[in-house]
Amino acid sequence: MSKRQGCLAGHAASQMENRNIEIESELIIQLQAGKEEAFARLYDDYSALLFGAILRIVGSRDDAENLLQDCFVKAWQHIDSYDSGKGRLATWLINIARNTAIDFTRSKHFSQKRKNQSLEIFVSSEPGSAAFQSSVDTLGLRQLLNKLTPNCREVIEWMYFGGYTQQEIAENFGIPLGTVKSRTRKALKELRGFFT
């Protein structure tokens, strides 16, 4: 690729990004005006992304589907609190989804449901299995993560509990890849400090 072609490709990508920001801004204005068709579009555009984020945390499709509906109700009710200066709409929605899913996993209902699951779930060897989650909680890793600075904790949770790669975190949450990598390094350094 020549230097000129590289410049043209970069310019086209920049134009596409600007257009996406314009489309997102228009959607936000319509949502804040209470237009139901905008809410339908929001659901169509973001439901798959949010469902995946929720499912990674709760591990149950049925629970994830119910929580997805809760997320969109919260987004509809609190769209006036969205601030584009603090991040993209996708990031704001994913934070709602993540917090909703995490709150659910801390609920008595979820805890009771896990206690009543059959033994074969706890014998599973899949990395995202309930057995893995149970051992993480038993080892006290969740409490250790809570000691990390919030930005670092978030990246580590997405990577190790959500199953995202650094590249996926950058793309899905609108964080520059370099920032994701530096937060990961900082988090690992902080975690090492707890053991010295």
182 occurs within a structural domain: no
Q: What is the dihedral of CA 20, 83, 52, 43, to 10 degrees?
A: -70
189 occurs within a structural domain: no
> Could you read off the pLDDT tens digit of each residue along the chain, which spans 196 residues?
556 655 555 555 566 666 777 888 898 899 889 888 999 999 988 888 899 889 888 888 889 999 999 999 999 999 999 888 888 888 899 889 998 998 888 876 655 555 545 444 444 444 444 444 444 443 466 677 778 888 888 888 777 777 778 887 888 778 888 998 898 888 888 877 766 6
Domain of residue 60, residue span: 1-108
CA Rg, the chain, in Å?
19
3-state SS of 49-113 is HHHHHHHHHHCCHHHHHHHHHHHHHHHHHHHHHCCHHHCCHHHHHHHHHHHHHHHHHCCHHHHHH
**C-beta separation of 188 from 166 below 8 A:** no
Backbone angles phi, psi at 2, to 5 degrees: -75, 165
Nearest Cα to 137, choosing from 111, 119, 167? 111
The whole-angstrom separation of Cα 158 and Cα 53 is 9
Tally of structural domains, the chain: 1
The whole-angstrom separation of Cα 107 and Cα 141 is 19
191 occurs within a structural domain: no
Which residues are CB-contacts of 80 (< 8 A; sequence separation ≥ 6)?
A: 32
194 occurs within a structural domain: no
Nearest Cα to 59, choosing from 110, 109, 8, 2? 110
91 occurs within a structural domain: yes
172 occurs within a structural domain: no
CATH number for the domain spanning 74: value is 1.10.1740.10
What is residue 196's three-state secondary structure? coil
Q: What is the pLDDT of residue 24?
A: 84
186 occurs within a structural domain: no
The whole-angstrom separation of Cα 75 and Cα 27 is 13
158 occurs within a structural domain: no
Look up residue 47 and give its two tokens.
């439901």
Place of tokens 């995490």: 102
**pTM score:** 0.52
Look up residue 9 and give its two tokens.
């490709």
